[in-house]
Chains A and B, each alone.
Chain A
Amino acid sequence: MEKQDAQQRADRIHAFRSELDLLQREGILGLDADTLARVHRYHDGVLGELAEAYDIDVSSGQKQLSWGMRIAAFLGALAISAAVFFFFYRFWGLIGTPAQVVILIGAPVLAALATAWVVRRERSPYFVMLVALVAFTCFVLNLNVLGTIFNIIPSPNAFLAWAAFALVLAYGYGLRLLLVAGLISLMGFLAAKVGTYSGAYWLSFSERPENFLVAGLVIFALGFAPQRGRPAFAGIYRVFGLLVAFIAVLILANWGRISYLQLDHDTIENIYQTLGFAGAAATIWLGIARSWPGLTNLGSTFFVLFLYTKLFDWWWDWMPKYVFFLLVGLIAVAVVFALRRLRAFSQRPAP
C-alpha cells in the first residue's frame, strides 16, 4: 500500500462515519450501541495504524496543515537549492581545479545519501522532498560547472543524466516533485534530440515547437506503461506530456512560420488549429471515459484557449471591443451549459 492508498482508506472511513451518523439521526438505520462501538474501535485501530505507518492526515485540520507544510517544504527546497548554487559561485574561483571536481562530484553523492538517511529517520515526506530536490540541484550544478571548468562543448545528454537521477529518486522514494523535475529534463532531452535529427544545433530546439510536440506525446505515452509500484505517477506523465504537446500546438496554431512543415504559413496554422480543437476534444473524452479528471480539466482548458485565440483572430481587429468581449462572455456561458450537459450525461446510471 502507498501513502495515497492509505489516505484514501482514511477518507473513506471518515465519510462512512459521517454518513452513518446522519442515517442514525434520521432514524433510517439503527445499530445497537455494542455493534457501533465495535465498528468505531475497529476504525480507530485502522486509522491509528495508517497514521503510524504512512503519516497520513486523519482530520480535515491536519489536511489543511499538510498543504501548508507541502508549500513551505517546496519553497524551502527551492531556496536551499538556490543557496547551494550561489554558495558555489561565490567561492569556486578561490578553489583549485582538483578540489572543485571533488566538491562537484561529492555534493550530489552526499545529498543522495542524506536523502536515504532522512527517509529512514523521518516518516513525513516533506523533508525527504526537500533534501532530494537539493540533491538534484547539486547534480545539475555538477555537470554544468564541470562543463564550464573544462570548456566542454554543451551536449543534450546532460538532460538525460539529470532526468535519470531525478527519476531514480522519484521512484525510489515516491516523490512527485522529483518526478516533475525528471520529466522536464526528459522533455528537454527528447526535444533537443528531435531537433538534432533535422540537423539543427541542439540548443536551437526551442525554435521549432514540433520538437516539444513529439517530446510531449512520448511522455504522454509513457503514462500508459507500468509504473513500478508507483501507479499514481501515471497521471502525472499523462497530464505533463499533454500539457507540453498542447502548448506546442497552440504556438504553431498562431505562428506557422516556425513550423518544420514546408507549407504556406496560413495552411500550417489552420492544420494546427484543427489539431488543437480535435486533440482537446479527444482529451476531454479520454478523461471522462477513463475517469482521469486531470485530463478532462486539461482538455477543457485548452479547448477554451484554442477557441479564444481563434475568436481573437477573426474578430478583434474589426469588431468594437465591447461587442467582442460580450461575445466572448456569451460563448463562455455556452461552454458552461455544454459542459453541464456533458456532466449530467456522464452521471446517468448505466442501464
Chain B
Amino acid sequence: MKPKAVTLAVALVAAVNAVVLAGVWYNRTGSPDATVVLTERELPVAAYRGPWSKEDTGLELRIRWHRLRPGNDWLDRAKLEAMGFDAKQMDAWDNAKARPRAKQLASRQVFVVLEYDGPAWTAYLKLRERQLARLKTKVSKGAEPQRKLKAEREALKRLRRGGSRLFAVDAGANAAALRRHYPDARHYLVVPAVVRAVYGWSNKDKQGQVSGYIRRLLPATLHVSAAQARRLPEESKSQPSWGYYYGGAGGLDRAPLYEVTLHYGRRHEAWIGAIRPLHGQGQDTDAAPDSSGGRAR
C-alpha cells in the first residue's frame, strides 16, 4: 500500500502539471488572438500584491483600464440578459414598488472588450475638456473656487501625460462573437472578466435601474519574468503605482518609461512578449492637447 501511495502522489503531480503546461503551450501556439503595444500608462508595475509583497521578489504589471463612465452605460439590462444574468430577478427589481433588499446578482465570468487608444479615449478627453470649460465659466462667475479649477487642470494634464488609454467598450459571453465584431486585434483585446448585475435605487424617484459592473479582469496583473524585469527601468520599479491604481482619474505624474508588447492567446490568456525601455522617447504630451486619439506614447 505505501509504495503505491507515493507512486500515485508523484504521478498525480506529474499529470496535473502536464495538463497545466499543455494548456499554456496551446494558448501560445498559432497566431495570437490579439497583440497590442501598450506603455507604462496602461501597464504600470504593481507595487502592492498582498500582505507579504515586501518580501516578494517577483514583478507584475497591473492592467490599468477605465471602467464605465456616466453617460456611457453600454453594460445595460439587455447586455446583462444576453450574458445569462437572471431575467426573472431583474424583472422583479423593475417591478418593485419599494427598495428591494437584494440589490445584486451573483457575478458571472464573461469576456470584456478593451479598446486601446481609440474613440472611447478621444470621447473621454473631450468630456473632461468640456467639464473643465464648464468649471472655468463657474469660477469666472465666482460660483466655484479658483483652487478647484487648478486641481481639475492638473488632473487633465496628468491624464493626457500618463493616464491609461484602455477602455472597456463591450462585453459578452462569447469571445469569438466579440472578436468578429471587433476584428482589429491591434487595438481591441478580448479579455476574461468578472461582471456583476447591480440594482441602483433612487429614494427620491422611488424607482431604480439595473446596470452591470465589471468587477475585475482575469487576471488583473501580468507576470514579468526575471529576464523581462531586467529590461524595466529602475525608476518604474521604485515608483509604486499604488496611488495610480486606486487614484481613479489619475495617471503617471511623468512620461511613461517603457512599452510592452502584450499578446492574448487562443485561450484568452495573456503573456508579455517584449519590454522596451523608452529612453528619452516618453514624450510629455502635455504640450499639445491630445483629444484626437493620436498614438502619442
* A interface residue numbers (CB < 8 A to B): 86, 89-97, 101, 104-105, 108-109, 112-113, 115-116, 119-120, 135, 139, 142-143, 146-154, 161, 164-165, 168-169, 171-173, 195, 198-204, 207-208, 229, 257, 262, 265
Contact = CB atoms under 8 A, between A and B. Distances in A.
Judged by DSSP, the binding face of A is helix
Nearest to A171: B5
A262 B271 contact: no
A151 B13 contact: no
Contacts of B142: none
Contacts of B10: 109, 112-113
Contacts of B56: 89-90, 93
A97 B59 CA distance: 12
Contacts of A168: 5, 8-9, 12
Q: Which of A105, A135, A201 has the most CB of B within 10 A?
A: A201
A234 B14 CA distance: 29
B109 interface: yes
B291 to A, nearest CB: 33
A161 B14 CA distance: 11
Contacts of B57: 89-94
Contact of B17 (A86, A105, A229): A105
B101 A257 contact: yes
5 contacts: A89-B52, A104-B17, A139-B13, A172-B6, A200-B108
A132 to B, nearest CB: 9
Given A201-B107, A204-B107, A89 B223 contact: no
Contacts of B89: 262
Q: Which of B58, B84, B88, B222 has the most CB of A within 10 A?
A: B58
B20 A152 contact: yes
Contact of A153 (B5, B101, B222, B269): B269
Given A89-B55, A115-B9, A173-B2, 12 more contacts: A94-B226, A105-B14, A116-B5, A143-B16, A149-B223, A151-B271, A152-B20, A153-B219, A153-B267, A172-B4, A172-B6, A195-B106
A152 B12 contact: no
Contact of A165 (B1, B12, B88, B223): B12
A112 B6 CA distance: 6
Interface in B100-152: 101-102, 106-109
Contacts of B229: 93
B179 to A, nearest CB: 17
B23 to A, nearest CB: 7
B269 to A, nearest CB: 5
Given A172-B2, A257-B101, A161 B106 contact: no
A93 B58 contact: yes
